[in-house]
Structure 1
Amino acid sequence: MKRNEFIKISGLAGLSLAIFPQFSFNNYLDEFTREQLLGKGNPNIIGDSYTSKMDKQTKEAFNKMKAAATEDNIKIEVVSSYRSFQRQKEIFENKYNSFTSQGLSPEKAIQKIIEYSTIPGTSRHHWGTDLDLIDGNAPRPTNVLMAENFHGNGPYCRFKMWLNQNAEKFGFHEVYTDNGNRKGFKYEPWHFSYAPVSVPMLKAYREKIDVKKMLSEEKIKGNEHFSEAFVSKYISENILDINPILL
């Protein structure tokens, strides 16, 4: 490794240690495979269901946060955790088929999908570090993942206040914040990421994955409409325009 590269990485690792005490220099240098980054296989994923599969370090931190919440009569429930490439592909293509069958053009269907849903191969849920959370002790609305449920008189208002005050203590941070200047995915007050693992994974993703080439190779339905301009904007706004602490 060149000296200037080592200094750069050492500085970033030091910053991570200051922000996340449980984050180690060795973790930062860990190699992540293409399969891990794309949700196609990850030996670090543990759990046996759609809502329990997580990166093992994320799982440990989550269990600690869940135990702390229980003391305040909050039952943290996971709605979605690890999501494989194939599962995300099914979600994306089902929505694509639905919107185009309703008369939307392929381009408009894709824009509609990426208001909340990621294109397969680009989802943070592929890493097992990101969780969609609700309070299992609160009255359950018909559609749980709606922003209005987490504010005002919403059933998860108290839960959101608890997360705002405590989630960072356990390494979890809101990803798609309520920032009027933020572009890309819409505000998701339920989506939290375990930064000590997701930060280095995002760095590895940016270094290793050619998004345009990957999307072309994977033959995702509608991929002929993923132009250079679209992919460049998607990377800038949907992948990278997130909570700055997670970059």
Structure 2
Amino acid sequence: MERRLFIKRSGFCGLALTIVPSTLLIQDTKYSIEELMGKEDIELYGDGINLRKEAHDAFVEMKKAALADGIDIKIVSSYRSFDRQAVIFERKYLKYTDDGMEPLDAIDKIIEYSTIPGTSRHHWGTDMDLIDGAPKVDGDVLDASKFSTGGPFEKFKLWMDENSKKFDYYLVYTDDSKRKGFKYEPWHYSYAPLSIPMLKSFRLKNIMKQLEQEDFLGSDHLTTEFVKTYIEDNILDINPELL
């Protein structure tokens, strides 16, 4: 299947500025656009952990504390490159459209849980999907029902609710009925001391302008208005403690 340009160019220039408060419009050079999009190699730490140094060290301490309380924190996913996110996005797009879904419906389905490549917090080396590795679980472990009352990860979730912030890890996509964008993810945690400034840097850079140069299945169905809404709802409507 032929790949197509990712974002329609019409009316695109300046999109980033329309969603950034004027107080944030300052020069930012700490994080490059390539780095924020998962297109630049970054130094990652820990066998099977793959986080930036500060996030890694805090996770190791959190894991030790959880083990002392009988919780075996296991990483399902941490750092993802741009290319890895593209594989996830396109695999889902093909699956849904092959099943008969219209392209726009397929994209809406994808962004219930998966990001457009280049916009994932997993690109930053600060975020992880976590479960309790002790219980035996059948099927998809990243299922919100498994973290609720009576689920195999109930104890894990209760422990994280009480303790994760002590190690500067915060739930990103909370169970708030007023929150838009991605659905509730009781497994996705972010290391705030790094991810907060990275999100601010993300908002200052015209990353969406860069994405129009990329090449993805379904891209011809993504308009400027769609991307603007996606940023506001999926990228920015998160746990306010991470803004």
TM over 0.5: yes
Distance 2:46 2:141 in 1: 23
Distance 1:30 1:62 in 2: 27
Distance 2:58 2:173 in 1: 20
Q: Partner residue of 2:19?
A: none
Distance 1:30 1:208 in 2: 10
Displacement of 1:226 in angstroms is 1.3
Amino acid at match of 1:37: L
Q: Partner residue of 1:107?
A: 104
> 1:1-247, aligned counterparts within 5 Å?
31-47=30-46, 51-211=48-208, 213-247=209-243
Question: For 1:167, what is the secondary structure of its paired residue?
Answer: helix
- Does the 8 Å contact 1:36/1:42 carry over to 2? yes
- Going from structure 1 to structure 2, the CA distance change for 1:30 and 1:160 (only over 3 Å counts) comes to farther
Displacement of 1:237 in angstroms is 0.3
For residues 92-112 of structure 1, the C-alpha deviation after alignment (integer angstroms, 9 at most, x for no partner) is 001111111111111111001
Distance 1:210 1:132 in 2: 24
Q: Which moved more, 1:85-94 or 1:101-110?
A: 101-110
Displacement of 1:53 in angstroms is 1.2
Q: Partner residue of 2:6?
A: none
Question: For 1:126, what is the secondary structure of its paired residue?
Answer: helix
Amino acid at match of 2:42: P
Distance 1:214 1:110 in 2: 20
Displacement of 1:80 in angstroms is 0.3
Number of residue pairs matched by the alignment: 218
Displacement of 1:30 in angstroms is 6.8
Q: Partner residue of 1:25?
A: none
- Does the 8 Å contact 2:173/2:238 carry over to 1? yes
Amino acid at match of 2:34: E
Question: For 1:45, what is the secondary structure of its paired residue?
Answer: coil
Amino acid at match of 2:31: F
* Structure 2 unaligned residues grouped into runs of 5+: 1-22
* Structure 1 unaligned residues grouped into runs of 5+: 1-7, 10-28
User: What value does the CA root-mean-square deviation take over the aligned residues?
Assistant: 1.5
Amino acid at match of 2:188: H
TM-score of the two chains, using structure 2 as the length reference:
0.86
Following TM superposition, where does structure 1 have runs of at least 4 consecutive aligned residues deviating by more than 6 angstroms? none
**Kindly, what percent of the aligned residue pairs are identical?**
52
- Does the 8 Å contact 2:179/2:238 carry over to 1? yes
Q: Which moved more, 1:132-141 or 1:192-201?
A: 132-141
Displacement of 1:229 in angstroms is 1.1
Displacement of 1:75 in angstroms is 0.7
RCO higher in structure (CA 8 A, sep ≥6): 2
Displacement of 1:152 in angstroms is 1.1
- Does the 8 Å contact 2:33/2:207 carry over to 1? no
